[in-house]
Amino acid sequence: MALALQKPFARTRYSVIPGFGITLGLTLFYLSLIVLIPLAGLVFKTAEMSLPELWRTISDNRVLHAFKISFGLSFAAAVINAVLGLVVAWVLVRYRFPFKKLVDALVDLPFAMPTAVSGIALAALYAPNGWIGQYLAPMGIKVAFTQLGILVALVFIGLPFVVRTTEPVLADLDREVEEAAASLGASRWQTFRRVIFPHLMPSLLTGFAMAFARAVGEYGSVIFIAGNMPYVSEIVPLVIIIKLEQYDYSGATAVALVMLIASFIMLFVINWLQKWSRSRREG
Amino acid sequence: MMATRNLITEPVWMRVSLTAVALTFLGVLVVLPVAAIFAEALSKGFGVYVASIIEPDAWAAIKLTLLVAVIAVPLNLVFGLVASWAIAKFEFRGKSFLITLIDLPFAVSPVISGLIYILLFGAHNFLGNWLIENDIQVVFAVPGIVLATIFVTFPFVARELIPLMQEQGTEEEEAAILLGANGFQTFWRVTLPNIKWALLYGVLLCNARAMGEFGAVSVVSGHIRGLTNTIPLHVEILYNEYNFAAAFSVASILTVLALVTLVLKTIIELRFSGFKTRRG
């Protein structure tokens, strides 16, 4: 890393293939123009605020509630995705049943669907007169326009991550190890817990972290089902939008900066988990 | 033989119940919302469905969405090819850091992706003032929507290509160069045939997201009906006006696009089993 700082983007091995300078140059240029400079602008904008001012914006009661709701529900959604996503991956890799290819393709649907479209569809389903809501309402369970609704939306958009990170690891798993465990007298549950699960752990955590990171920033699929009540069901991205609509640009920026820092941390955690996962699979 | 097989799989009741849990979960979570979209869209009959889509404001939104995708997708396609060539074919310092930077737009909330362009081009700095003096509108106009869409769809093509090209190595390209091909010939005749299916899938995903992006575009668009409304924004307006049948009709266009994207992906995977898509 120290070396990288001394001479960034210097070639470390000669190659006969042409185009290093131009392709790397174009990549860095486009990356700076579209991503880095605009993001740096956000940091500069926050720098215009004094520290007490920044602190007052972030520690405002309504903002704090939004942070608690966003991070808390995203965590809960990622836990649900980790458990049920692993079941889905397990079933897709190990069992045979009709229309398996179709089911496998369905897993990607939350990824391909526009968030606003998923949002109105979920809101319609879980509304008190909706297909699902009408059966929950007599039981006294309200989903749409409550925190439970936010949770449903976040589970929906996080679904592909755990399934897609654990699927290849499960498929690669050497069945002979399981046979060995079984022939040494381990029960199926013991084999899963002691042999299979430790192998899955890095990829499961990667999927969990990805689902969590995606959920924290999610906007479109949540706002239609959330009800958006301040202190109760208002997520952080919505707080940013509300501040923008009130022309409170520095307030919006301050909240956004906290989100951005959280995203950076998540990104580095995910990268680190992926490296761990890869070394586990190869080693 | 039979005994070991039984030892490394679960009892039948367990297999059946796990499969049932997985299918129920997917059915309720994924299949029902899609079914609901089409049911709601057609709830007032096929006439209303068609009328909601060909009505002028909806039509303007469709045209704007196509325009945005036509600009954003090719730019990110070229970037994806260029970036993955640099990253996969050469060894250089700071490579993994560069890959992390390319992933950034995935990690950032869509709302923030829109906000950064408001801060950059809004009337609060010298750039914003200069734009106003020269009567150029970026934010709350089409250029802002295009920029936010490019940001959000930035990593899609590169992320599909980089791992595949890294796996394929550099030997074939080196051989082509040593046999006298120039760089462009090598790319066109050797590299491109090797990556075309991953490239196609990356472009499909990029396009689906470009047409469906909501959060980022919602921040930079001024929500001017018939002018700066993309399809998802038009859906939001209709929904908030309690015009549900129309909202779901327009939403069904994007749902069809998502379904077509997934069908093509499945076909690509089935026909070319060497190509396995990666998600993240």
Q: What is the Cα–Cα distance from A214 to B115, expressed in whole angstroms?
A: 18
Q: For position A82, what pLDDT does the model report?
A: 97
> What's the pLDDT score for residue B274?
52
> Is B280:B159 a contact under the CB 8 Å cutoff?
yes
What confidence score (pLDDT) does residue B6 get?
61
**pLDDT of res. B5:** 55
Residues of chain B contacting A12 with CB distance shorter than 8 Å: 91-93
What are the pLDDT digits (tens) for B1-12? 445 556 677 888
pTM value is: 0.91
Helix (H, G, I), strand (E, B) or coil at B79: helix
Q: What is the mean pLDDT of residues A103-115?
A: 93
**Does residue A15 carry a pLDDT above 50?**
yes
Within the 79-98 window of chain A, which residues sit less than 8 Å (CB to CB) from chain B? 84, 87-88, 90-92, 94-95, 97
Using CA atoms, how far apart are residues B97 and A24, in angstroms rounded to an integer? 13
Show Cβ contacts of residue A134 under 8 Å, excluding neighbours closer than 6 positions. Answer: A128
- CB of A262 within 8 Å of a chain B CB? The answer is no
Query: Least CB-CB distance to A156: which of B29, B233, B262?
Result: B29
State what percent of residues in chain A have pLDDT above 70: 96
Amino acid at A146: T
Q: Which residue of A has its CA nearest to B146?
A: A34
Check residue B42 and report its DSSP letter.
T
C-alpha–C-alpha distance, residues B202 and B183, integer Å: 23
**In whole angstroms, what is the distance from residue A249 CA to residue B119 CA?**
8
Whether A17 has its CB under 8 Å from any CB of chain B: the answer is yes
Give CA separation, B180 vs B88, B177, B189, in Å: 21, 5, 13
User: In chain A, which residues have their Cβ closer than 8 Å to the Cβ of B93?
Assistant: 3-4, 7-10, 12
**Where is average pLDDT lowest: A111-120, A205-214, A272-281, B66-75?**
A272-281
Nearest by Cα to B239 from A245, A111, A121: A121
CA of A120, closest CA in chain B: separation in Å? 8
Structure tokens at B50: 């068609």
Question: What six digits make up the tokens of B63?
Answer: 């045209």
Interface A-B: count of C-beta contacts within 8 A: 309
Q: What pLDDT was estimated at residue B278? A: 46
- Taking the alpha carbons of B138, B139, B145, B147 in that order, is the dihedral positive or negative? positive
Nearest Cα of chain A lies from the Cα of B270 at a distance, in angstroms, of: 9
Structure confidence by residue, pLDDT tens digits, A26-71: 999 999 999 999 999 898 888 888 888 889 999 999 999 999 999 9
Which helix (H) or strand (E) segment is A15 a member of?
none
CA dist B110 and B214 (Å) reads 8
Q: DSSP letter for A32, please.
A: I
Residues 6+ apart with CB under 8 A from A51: none
Residues A115-161: pLDDT tens digits? 999 999 999 999 999 999 999 989 999 998 899 999 999 999 999 99
Q: How far apart are CA B161 and CA B193, in angstroms?
A: 13
Name the phi and psi angles at B94, rounded to 5. 80, 15
Which region holds residue B275: left if phi is over 0, alpha if psi is between -120 and 50, else beta?
Answer: beta
Tokens of A5: 């700082």
Whether B232 and B214 have beta carbons less than 8 Å apart is answered as yes
C-alpha atoms less than 13 angstroms from C-alpha of B208 in its C-beta half-sphere: 28
Interchain contact A263–B (C-beta under 8 A) = yes
Does position A3 have pLDDT exceeding 50, yes or no?
no
DSSP category for residue B221: S
> How far does the CA of residue B118 sit from the closest CA of chain A (Å)?
9
Beta carbons within 8 Å of B251's beta carbon, 6+ residues apart = A114, A116, A117, A120, A121, B37, B41, B235
Nearest-CB residue to B115 (from A4, A42, A213): A42
Token pair 């997917």 in the structure block, residue: B26
**Which pLDDT belongs to residue A60?**
92
Once rounded to an integer, what is the mean pLDDT over residues A266-283?
82
| A209 contacts A269 by C-beta, under 8 angstroms | yes
Return the exposure string of B125-160: e unless at least 16 CB atoms fall within 10 Å of the residue's CB, then b: eeebeebeeeeeebbbbbbbbbbbbbbbbbbbbbbb
- How high is the pLDDT of residue A1? 43
Show which of residues 34-53 on chain A sit within 8 Å of chain B, judged by CB atoms.
34-39, 41-42, 45
User: Does A121 contact chain B (CB < 8 Å)?
Assistant: yes
- Distance, CA of A167 to CA of A200 (rounded, Å): 9
A31:B101 CB<8 A = yes
Six-digit token string for B32: 């029902």
What's the rounded Cα separation, in Å, for the pair B160 and B201? 8
Chain B residues whose CB is inside 8 A of the A224 CB are: 239
* Residues of chain B where predicted confidence (pLDDT) is lower than 70: 1-7, 123-124, 272-280
With both helix axes pointing from N to C terminus, report the angle between A236-245 and A61-94 in degrees, rounded to the nearest 10.
140
Q: How far apart are the first and last CA of chain A?
A: 23
> How far apart are the C-alpha atoms of B76 and B61, rounded to whole Å?
22
Q: Is B32 on the interface with A (CB under 8 A)?
A: yes
Per DSSP, B31 falls in state: I
Q: What is the pLDDT of residue B271?
A: 77
User: DSSP class of residue A139?
Assistant: G
For residue B138, give the nearest of B154, B114, B155 by alpha carbon: B114
